[in-house]
Amino acid sequence: MGSAAASAVLTRDAGSQQLADTAALTGVKVMVIDDSNTIRRSAEIFLLQAGCTVILADDGFDALAKIADHQPDLIFVDIMMPRLDGYQTCALIKKNAKFHQTPVVMLSSKDGLFDRARGRMVGSDQYLTKPFTKDSLLRAVATHVKTVV
């Protein structure tokens, strides 16, 4: 760790901590799967500002075709999508031995206990309610990147 990064980590004020967190995300490959262009673009902007590499997919089929090529460190997947929903997409990702350990965060406007439980049953690592904030999105990345990087 460079001296500037070490200083940022050691300093307790919010600005320096945010700098340290953002620096830790540089180069992390994150896939965002959502049929909403607005959600995809918002997530992309937040993640790019944090230094992440972003791969976008507009549905589960598109994502499955891109995962092998890009090998993301973390995947955000919307639950409600046409053709292949988020639960099915997550289950297929987790069944693949190569991507079984890749963290998957479910995105949904639903916040019910049943939805969260169903996400866990298919192997998701976290559940993030939409609309998400920049902070909640980056916190989710930071939480799961620690186990990946």
In this predicted model, what pLDDT tens digit does every residue of 2-42 receive, in sequence order?
Answer: 433 333 333 333 443 444 445 568 889 999 999 999 999 99
Please state the pTM of the whole predicted model: 0.83
User: Do 52 and 82 meet the contact criterion of CB atoms below 8 Å apart?
Assistant: no
Lowest average pLDDT, out of 10-14, 57-61, 95-99, goes to: 10-14
pLDDT digits (tens, 9 = 90+) for 100-109: 999 999 999 8
Supply the DSSP string of 62-82, one letter for each residue: HHHHHHHHH--SEEEEESS-S
What is d(CA 5, CA 131) in angstroms, rounded to the nearest whole number?
Answer: 31
Q: In which residue are the tokens 């980590």 written?
A: 9
Mean pLDDT of the chain: 85
- At 138 the pLDDT is 95
CA distances from residue 148 to 14, 30, 144 in whole angstroms, order as listed:
25, 12, 7
- At 13 the pLDDT is 39
CA distances from residue 119 to 12, 106, 108 in whole angstroms, order as listed:
35, 7, 10
User: Do 25 and 51 meet the contact criterion of CB atoms below 8 Å apart?
Assistant: yes
What is d(CA 80, CA 124) in angstroms, rounded to the nearest whole number?
Answer: 15
User: Do 43 and 34 meet the contact criterion of CB atoms below 8 Å apart?
Assistant: yes
More confident residue, 1 or 140: 140
